[in-house]
Amino acid sequence: MPRKDLYDLIARAYDNWAGTETIAVFQENLGRDFYQARREAGKAYTARLEMQGVVTAEEAAYWNARNASVEEYSYGYRKGWECVLNNMPWGILIMMIVCVGTAPVFAGEYQSKCDSLFLCMKYGKNRLPMAKIIAAWLYASLVYLGITLLWSGVILLYLGAQGWELPVQLLRASSAPASYNVTFGQAFLLELLLGYVLTLSIMAVTLWMSSVFKNPYGVIVAAFLLLIVPTFLLLAGQGYVLYHILSLLPAKIMDFTFFDYTAYSVGGKVLSCLSADLIVNGAAAVLFSAAGYGMFRRHQVNQ
């Protein structure tokens, strides 16, 4: 059927995956306002999440308000941007590359016994570790942004870059309507920023482990476990607190979609999962880098 994906996307606002044939859905809802049906579908979804203990009443109200703010759809060709956004979770492989490159930053000095030389030099305990951390940040930035922009550019060159101004709600048919009022172009920039901050976060954790471990191979194994193990943890049925803690791990965040309704209540305010992920992992990048700096400075060369 021509434009089947578009028909399915519209039909989901009316039947919310009840299993009814698309044609029957249109016949049963003839004359019913699409955007009103979409808002009702969003409220039904948040009510179900509230019953399951995934969101609180305040968080459900937050998402309902965001759904109500979504403007009318504009339609058009968008295959290139769909492909780019659907492949963003593969950025976790880039994180692994960054971990491998960062693991020897401090641990390599311990293994080669060069720490006894460098730490005894005039600037060995201040400028040297700072230079290493700056180099690691630059390395992580260039690797993540370079690879991501390269493969994204290839996809857009092949499939076309048209549709960047279309709403992200057109990404796919879903039982939960996308509540982020952004375009495909804005969605790409947000996911690019999210992946970049996550890369800096896991890089900083790797730096800290490198300052603690005596062998870079142990650092690589630990970093890989941190990235891989959470992918096998199911979020469903974990309870509100554990669910929200697991949702902040890099492996889970890389599965982020604009159809996600996870939120965090902090100090009477509600933050979307995207905002919380950026804040928490941005802070982790700074704190773990500082911890790695401190550990290397205090390292005793005679141990």
Kindly calculate the radius of gyration of the chain based on its CA atoms and give it in whole angstroms: 23
∠ CA 12-13-16, rounded to 5°: 55
Structural domain harbouring 118: 76-297
Per residue in 243-271, pLDDT tens? 888 888 877 787 788 888 989 998 889 99
Per-residue CA distances from 175 to 9, 15, 44, 60, 211 (Å): 9, 9, 10, 16, 46
Sign of CA dihedral 137, 143, 148, 154: positive
Quick one: how far is CA 102 from the chain centroid? 21
- Which among 118, 91, 62, 129 has a CA at the least distance from the CA of 256? 91
What was the pLDDT predicted at 32?
Answer: 79
pTM for this entry: 0.88
pLDDT tens, N- to C-terminus, the chain (303 residues): 566 777 777 777 777 655 667 777 777 777 778 888 888 888 988 998 888 888 899 999 999 999 888 888 888 899 999 999 999 988 899 999 999 999 988 886 766 555 555 555 555 566 778 888 999 999 999 999 999 999 999 999 999 999 999 999 888 877 678 889 999 999 999 999 999 999 999 999 999 998 888 888 999 999 999 888 887 776 666 678 888 888 888 777 877 888 889 899 988 899 999 999 999 999 999 999 999 888 877 655 554
The tens digit of pLDDT for each residue in 192-229 reads 999 999 999 999 999 999 888 888 899 999 999 988 88
Q: How far apart are the first and last CA of the chain?
A: 71
Say if 17 falls within a structural domain. Answer: no
Centre a 10 Å sphere on the Cβ of residue 38 and count the other Cβ atoms it contains: 21
Contacts 24+ apart (CB under 8 A), 295-300: 295/106, 295/208, 295/211, 295/212, 296/106, 296/129, 296/132, 296/211, 297/125, 297/126, 297/129, 299/110, 299/115, 299/119, 299/211
Domain-located, residue 13: no
Cα separation of 201 and 186, whole Å?
Answer: 22
Looking at the 3D structure of the chain, how many domains does it have?
1
Is 9 inside any structural domain?
no
In a domain, 278, yes or no: yes
What's residue 299's pLDDT? 54
Instruction: Tell me whether residue 256 is in a domain.
Output: yes
Q: How far apart are CA 221 and CA 228, in angstroms?
A: 10
Residue 103: partners with Cβ closer than 8 Å, 6 or more residues away: 206, 209, 210, 216, 217, 219, 220, 223
Distances (CA, A) of 282 to 131, 184, 204, 299: 20, 24, 10, 26
Q: How far apart are CA 290 and CA 277, in angstroms?
A: 20
In a domain, 106, yes or no: yes
Residue 57, SS3?
helix
* d(C-alpha 256, C-alpha 274), whole Å: 8
194 within a domain of the structure (yes/no): yes
Beta strands in 165-231 (DSSP E): none
Q: Are the C-beta atoms of residues 77 and 159 closer than 8 Å to each other?
A: no
Cα–Cα distance, 265 to 55 (Å, whole number): 9
- Domain assignment present for 224: yes
pLDDT at 27: 76
pLDDT value, residue 112: 57
